[in-house]
Amino acid sequence: MSETGSAQLSGPGDPHTPELDSAHPPTPGSPAPRESGDHRAPGLRTGLRRRHMTMIAIGGAIGAGLFVGSGSVIRTAGPAAILSYAAAGLVVLCVLRALGEMVVARPVAGSMGEYARMAMGPFAGFTVGWLYWYLYVILVGAEAVAGAAILANWIDLDQWVLSAGLLVVMTAVNLVSVKSFGEFEFWFASIKVVAIVLFLVVGAAWVFGLWPGSQPGFGNLSAHGGFAPNGIAGIFSAIVVVMFAFGGTEIVTVAAAESKEPGRAVARATNNVLWRVGLFYVAAIFLVVTILPWNDAKVLQSPFVSALDHIGIPAAGTIMQVVILTAVLSVLNSAIYVSSRMLYVLTRDGDAPASLVKLNRRGVPARAVLLGTIAAWGAVIASYVSPDTVFTFLVNSIGVVLAFVYVAIMFSQLRLRARLRREDPAALTYKLWGYPYVSWAVIIALFAVFAAMARNPDQRNQLLASTVSLLFVMAIYPLRARFGRKPPVREVEILRH
C-alpha cells in the first residue's frame, strides 16, 4: 500500500481519526499489515475460544423474538411468514457477511464503529458508535424488565426488585472476565439451540405422522385464505418486524477483539449463522404454520406453546417460559458486554471521558460496564414510573437504530472494499458476494423497510423515535469536535495473529 493509499484508508492527519497502523507504517508499495504478531487493544484479554464465538453468533440471532414475536409475524403474513423470515434473514446475512469481510481484512477493536470511522471519517464513527451503545443500553433495561415479568410468575417479589437482581447478577458476570461472559453466553445459547432442535424433531414427527395421535399433512399451508392470505403487502410488512428479530448476529464481530483468532473466528461464525439460523427460524416457523391454522387466536399469543399444546406435550407453557427466560438472560448478558466494549472504544478514540478507558486487572473495562448498567437502570425505573410515555418512547427510540447501523455498515463496506481492491487485494480473503450490486441491493432493501414503516401507522412511531435518537447523536458531534479531547491512542489497534 502506498503512503497516499494508507492516508485514504485510515485518515492520518485528522486529530480525531486514528491511523490504520501508525506503529508500523508501510513503506511505499508495501502491502498492508496482516493478522500476524499481536497488536491488540491494550489490556483486553483473549479469553474467548472458538466455541464461545460460534455460540455468541448463534445465540445473538435467537432471541425471545423468535419464541414470542413470531406470532404477530404469522398473523400478518399467514403461512407466507416463511418467506418473510427467509427474505429478512438473507438481508441480515449479507450485512453480517459485509461486516465479516472488513473484520477479516482489517480486524480492529471497535468493529462497525471503527469501520465507519475508517471509511467515512470521525463524524460517522462517532455517530455509529454512540448509536450502537445507546441501543444496547436501552436493551439491557428492556430485557431486565422482560425477565422480571417472567420471574414474577414464580417469585413473589416486586418486579423492580427482580429487575435489579437480574442487572446485578449479569453485571457481575461481565465484571469477572471476558471468559465469564463467554461461558455464560455459551450455555445460554446452548439451551436455546437444544430447545429449538427438540421442537423441530417433535414438530416434524407430528407433521409426517410419526407422533402418536398425529394428523399428518400440509393442509394448513393453503387453507384459511391460502398461502399468502394478505398478499405481497402482508409478506413485506412482516419482513419489517422479522428483520429486527435477527438483530444480535453482529455481536460476534465486537467479541472478535477478545478472541485468539479474530479474523478466522468471525469468518467461521458467519458461515455457521447461514445454515443454522435458516434451520432454526425458517424450519421452526414452517412447522408452526403447518401444525396450526395461521389464524388461530392462540398463535398470536404464543405460537410455540400453542403448537406444543396441540401436539400434547405436557407443561408446554412452563417449558417455553424457561426457554424464553434463558433467551432474555442471553440478550441481557450480551447487551451488557457489547455496550461496555463500544463505550471503551469510544473512549479510546476520544469520543467519551478518558476515565472510562481504564481496565481492571482482569482486562475488563469495569467503569464502562458499570456506566452502562446505571444507564440501563434508568430505563428500568422509567418502565415503572412512566410505562406508557417515557419507557415506550425509549423502546421505540431503539426500534430502528440497528437498521441505521446496518446502512452504515454497508456504506463502509462499499468504500473500504473499493480501496482494498486498489491497495491490498490480497487482504480480501473473505468477501461479500456480488460486489457492488449486492451491497447496493441491501441498502435499497433497508431504505424500503424505512419507507414501509413510514406508511404503517403501527410502526411509524418507532421510525420517528429512532430518527430522533439519530439526529440527537449527530447534533452532539459539533460540540465534541470543538471542545472534546484528542484521542489518547492515535492508532487503530490491528488485531494480529
Q: What is the pLDDT of residues 190-224, one digit of tens each?
A: 998 899 999 999 999 999 988 888 878 889 998 88
Q: Quick check: is 153 in a domain? A: yes
Q: Quick check: is 444 in a domain? A: yes
Lowest mean pLDDT among 215-219, 378-382, 424-428: 215-219
Report d(CA 28, CA 4) in Å as an integer: 9
pLDDT of residue 29: 38
pLDDT of residue 489: 45
DSSP 211: S
Q: Which of 280, 302, 196, 285 is nearest to 310 (CA)?
A: 302
Query: Which domain does 287 fall in, by range?
Result: 52-483
Q: What is the mean pLDDT of residues 43-54?
A: 80
Contacts of 170 (CB under 8 A, 6+ apart): 329, 332, 333, 336
pLDDT of residue 217: 85
- Summarize pLDDT for 245-285 with one digit per residue, the tens: 777 888 888 888 888 777 777 887 777 776 676 778 889 99
Q: Quick check: is 28 in a domain? A: no
Look-up of cell digits 445473538: 60
Q: Quick check: is 42 in a domain? A: no
- Summarize pLDDT for 163-184 with one digit per residue, the tens: 999 999 999 999 999 999 999 9
Q: Tell me how many domains the chain contains.
A: 1
Q: Quick check: is 472 in a domain? A: yes
Q: Which of 417, 445, 437, 463 is nearest to 89 (CA)?
A: 445
Q: Quick check: is 32 in a domain? A: no
Residue 61 has pLDDT above 80, yes or no: no
Instruction: Report the length, in residues, of the chain.
Output: 497
CATH at residue 187: 1.20.1740.10
Q: What is the largest CA-CA distance in the chain?
A: 74
Mean pLDDT for the chain overall:
83
Q: Quick check: is 271 in a domain? A: yes
Q: Quick check: is 27 in a domain? A: no
